[in-house]
Structure 1
Amino acid sequence: MAHSSADGSPTSGSTTTHHPAPARLSRRALLRTTLAGAGAVALPALLASCSSGPRSSGDSDSDSGSGTATLGSNASDPLPRQAYRDVIAGYQAKSGHRVEVRTTDHNTFQENINRYLQSRPDDVSMWFAGYRMQFFAAKGLLDDISDLWQGFTGFSQALKDQSTGQDGKQYFVPYYFYPWAVFYRKSVFRQHGYQVPKTFDQYTALARRMQKDGLVPFAFGDRDGWPAMGTFDYLDLRANGYAFHRSLMAGQESWTDPRVRHVFDLWRGLMPYHDRGANGRTWQEAAQSLARKKTGMAVFGLPHPGQQFAEADRGDLDFFAFPEIDPQWGQDSVEAPMDGFLLPHRGGNKDAARDLLGYLATPAAEETYISADPNNIAVNSGADTSGYNALQKKAVELVSSAAHVSQFLDRDTRPDFASTVMIPALQTFINDPKDIDGLVNDIERQKKSLFADEG
């Protein structure tokens, strides 16, 4: 599933009284709750993206009828869309109940989530864990499903925490997660003799070499607004550490801080190696350029290149952790967003919706999805992971070894700040990366206004 845009953001565990900062797992907690049993790897991950329009919008993948539950889906790309069809078909065969899947373009779903939840939402809706869910639960737009959680099995305490609102009640059913990293084609690296970079200097040197070899070093498309957030997050996590990044997302640090300016200065140095015209290119187009060997690398979430590579080429896809910038932090943090399902308060068919959510929380439901879309990682410890491909196994290892796991910028901060401030700010930077002072001053001015109610 495509990561996210920005109309809500995840994670809890704050240092402020009114607005918790995104909660994360320490490495020990992550390992303690993740590696479950022989052959079955469950990650209490915390990870990418959207919601549909009003109940009348989108297109339906099945017919509605009396007693039918409706599912608002943001899985508009072909691969995840088919995977969800398989899941729903399994549920209908098992339960005898019908589900109407209403699919909306991923980005449109995300950008309209607030209006959607306040109007006539579907009975069940796809969405994200952590603060991005908590924000809407606090507004009374989601139903408490704590009683359903009492019957769930295979979910770690860490997963439950990511599914819990600020009031201590559960509002979310976790489904899968996926890490962000730097993706590349193994054959391209072999052809040119490239080595995986460990440090930022090596990363920049590799980009220069790729450019000399006739490749665009970094595939880049930010028309949807959110893809660039992944690069910003990793630059900040590597340069300033997890604690500062978390505090920055919570509105507790100034965007004019020299540490933030340093992030944009590092990024400015990389911009000559990025695809030009990124604000007019979709992430799908960027991933396709990587698949066609026109570009050398791309900062993405696991599903993004995976969904754009032909089946025959997927074995050639690989990734490495975003390189170290400051040895103090190394590569200790990983972005790993988690997607799942909500019960909108204004949805109509509560009984049918709750029954569907109960099924979606089962290992069988996750296994069906992952078998059709092998670009994500199941979170239920009961799910059979013996069929994981090399990338999935490597993704599990990447997240398991991290000291800190973040969600994503537009999930780790206020949705209004992510959508109305950061998307245009990053797109402005992409168009003209010279005026960093003006950029950070403008972000800080708007941040103060939006976060004023939390002071």
Structure 2
Amino acid sequence: MTDRSATTTSNSRRCISRRALGAAVAVLGMAAAITLPTGVYAADEQTLVVNSDRSGAGQKAAMNKIAADFEAKNPGVKVTINYSDVESYKTSIRNFLVTNPPDVAFWFTGARMKTFTKRNLFDDMSGFFAENNLTNVMKPWLPAVSEGDKQYMMPTNFTTWGFFYNKQVFEKVGVAPPATWDELMAAAAKIKASGVTPFTIGTRDLWANALWFDYLDMRMNGLDFHMQLMDGKASYTDPRVKAVFAKWGEPIGKGYFLDNASSYGWQEAIPFLAQGKAAMYLLGPYVLTSLPAEAHGNIGFFPFPVIDPSVPKAEEISVNGVTIPSGAKNKPLARSFLAFLAQPDNLKAFALGGAVLPARTDVDITGDAFAQSQMALAKNAQGSAQFYDRDTDPEMAQVGMKGFQEFLANPKRSDTVLERLEAARQRIFK
């Protein structure tokens, strides 16, 4: 999820291109195998420590099985996995990378990765991909784990984003998944009139609200301008950004969002959707992984609607990964474990356990309808960004997301918020 710091030097270094994703999809369904050394570690080198923020039931179960299978192939090896919820992990990783680094650590890519690579806290993994025949099958996602010509993480999965909706609410009110902004606003008006909140959201964690800004900016102003803004090369007081806030202010002013959104974490806002008290949530597949399986059948999905048909339809596509900290005690064992994790069946199980997509081009996902729909969304994207706080400087991201939270609570403060963001941009990107 993206909480998703210097930015990359070009759009191509942090955007998954349509061509690359098309190539990835074109070869889905083929299987590949990696031969790993087994039983080669001495008795005093057997403990592998993994810190993970992938604590959802599906991914946790998948990772536990992968660890058990790795132990079985390497007699004497013990894999210890420390799970943490993602919000706590964002704080703890800043400490454990310095004070007590594990052998393997999961984290976000892009600007979030660079927060730590600038401090030399992630190992250089550049040779890992060629050594394990992963360069080609992971090629579309390597820019997200690269800084210059070096790679510092192994991509594990990528996440798509959009509107999850309550099918029963839509059917009762008589609306269909909208394809345009005007249709979305018309649907929201009917839903509001029926006594249901159109949009649930929890902004206490800040990041979820940034998704609205990203999509509105990309749909109205295009990907190139959006990335200029992320790079600090465009102004937050630019009329184009003010237009984004004006468009965003329309549903806010009409009371279409959950009241007191800042009092809820992103996950705490999901029950409103599941219970039919709210109709839609602009978020990622964490909506599904946060709900019991029996609730999934009532949850549908549609992409963020078109606002200006002349603007190419870019999507938000976030890449997650795993790294070997510079201070890891068992780096050879860690590399073997990551190579094992990267095997097609393992990466597929791990990714689909979290309702996300595996970062390999040769994994067969034909048996998962939701995964296929998300792959199609990525394939058809006319360019992509990762996420606000993965694409811009981390300090700028924090100021920006606090501003978005304030704007949702009081849209009349739009000019004040944008002026504050612009002052921060000038200071941070000077």
From 126, 133, 158, the counterpart of 1:177:
158
After TM superposition, the structure 1 stretch with the greater mean CA deviation from structure 2, 100-109 or 398-407, is: 100-109
- The answer to whether residue 58 in structure 2 is matched with residue 79 in structure 1 is yes
Structure 2, unaligned runs of 5 or more = 33-43
- The answer to whether residue 204 in structure 2 is matched with residue 206 in structure 1 is no
1:121 corresponds to which residue? 101
Query: Structure 1 residues 230 and 22 mapped into 2: Cα distance closer, same or farther (>3 Å)?
Result: farther
For residues 248-289 of structure 1, the C-alpha deviation after alignment (integer angstroms, 9 at most, x for no partner) is 011111111111111111111112200011111122221221
The CA deviation at 1:441 is 0.6
Count of residues paired in the alignment:
414
Q: Distance in 2 between matches of 1:259 and 1:170?
A: 35
- The answer to whether residue 298 in structure 2 is matched with residue 316 in structure 1 is yes
The CA deviation at 1:40 is 5.1
- The answer to whether residue 404 in structure 2 is matched with residue 440 in structure 1 is no
1:267 corresponds to which residue? 248
The CA deviation at 1:403 is 0.7
2:26 corresponds to which residue? 35
Amino acid at match of 2:378: V
The CA deviation at 1:298 is 0.7
2:266 corresponds to which residue? 283
The CA deviation at 1:402 is 0.5
Amino acid at match of 1:430: L
2:348 corresponds to which residue? 367
TM-score (norm 1): 0.85
For residues 358-404 of structure 1, the C-alpha deviation after alignment (integer angstroms, 9 at most, x for no partner) is 21222132133245x1511112133232321x211110111100111
Q: Distance in 2 between matches of 1:370 and 1:450?
A: 35
- The answer to whether residue 316 in structure 2 is matched with residue 294 in structure 1 is no
After TM superposition, the structure 1 stretch with the greater mean CA deviation from structure 2, 282-291 or 227-236, is: 282-291
- The answer to whether residue 176 in structure 2 is matched with residue 195 in structure 1 is yes
- The answer to whether residue 14 in structure 2 is matched with residue 14 in structure 1 is no
1:221 corresponds to which residue? 202
Assess if the C-alpha contact under 8 Å between 2:201 and 2:269 holds in 1. Answer: yes
2:356 corresponds to which residue? 376
- The answer to whether residue 2 in structure 2 is matched with residue 4 in structure 1 is yes
Assess if the C-alpha contact under 8 Å between 2:107 and 2:113 holds in 1. Answer: yes
* SS of residue in 2 equivalent to 1:175: strand
* SS of residue in 2 equivalent to 1:336: strand
Assess if the C-alpha contact under 8 Å between 2:48 and 2:80 holds in 1. Answer: yes
Written as runs of structure 1 = structure 2, the 5 A alignment for 1:319-338 is 319-329=301-311, 332-338=313-319
Amino acid at match of 1:108: S
Amino acid at match of 2:99: S
Assess if the C-alpha contact under 8 Å between 1:335 and 1:408 holds in 2. Answer: yes
Query: Percent of pairs identical after alignment?
Result: 31
Assess if the C-alpha contact under 8 Å between 2:111 and 2:390 holds in 1. Answer: yes
1:46 corresponds to which residue? none
Q: Distance in 2 between matches of 1:90 and 1:229?
A: 39
For residues 129-182 of structure 1, the C-alpha deviation after alignment (integer angstroms, 9 at most, x for no partner) is 23332442233121111221112336242222222222x112111111120001
* SS of residue in 2 equivalent to 1:305: helix
Structure 1, unaligned runs of 5 or more = 16-20, 43-64
Assess if the C-alpha contact under 8 Å between 1:134 and 1:164 holds in 2. Answer: no
2:388 corresponds to which residue? 409
Amino acid at match of 1:158: P
Q: Distance in 1 between matches of 2:188 and 2:78?
A: 51
* SS of residue in 2 equivalent to 1:102: strand
2:40 corresponds to which residue? none
